[in-house]
Amino acid sequence: MASIKLLIDTDIFIDYLKGISSAKALFRSSNIDIYCSVLTRKELLNKPGLKDSERKKIITIFRGLKILDM
C-alpha cells in the first residue's frame, strides 16, 4: 500500500507536544510520511523561552521527518 504524504505546519507540532491525541496518532501512523518546511523547523526551535528539554524533544521529532527547503 502506498503511503500518504502529508505536509504539516507548526500548529500540528505544537498539538503533538501538548499531547493532543489526534496529533499523537498522526505521528504514530505507519502509513503517513510526514513533511514539514524549514520555516516550521525554524519557528519551533527559535521559540522564545524554549527549555532545553523541549528543544531536544523537537530535534528528536525532526529526525524522523522529511524537511522541505524553500
Q: In this predicted structure, what is the pLDDT of residue 3?
A: 85
Domain carrying residue 13: 4-68
Three-class DSSP category at 68 = strand
Q: Which CATH number belongs to the domain containing residue 60 in this structure?
A: 3.40.50.1010
Q: Provide the number of structural domains found in the chain.
A: 1
What's the average model confidence in pLDDT over 33-48?
93
How confident is the model at residue 59, as a pLDDT?
Answer: 93
**Res. 2: pLDDT tops 70:** no
User: What share of the chain has pLDDT > 70, as a percent?
Assistant: 97
Average pLDDT, the chain: 91
Q: Is 38 within 8 Å of 70 (Cβ atoms)?
A: yes
Give mean pLDDT, residues 31-53.
Answer: 92
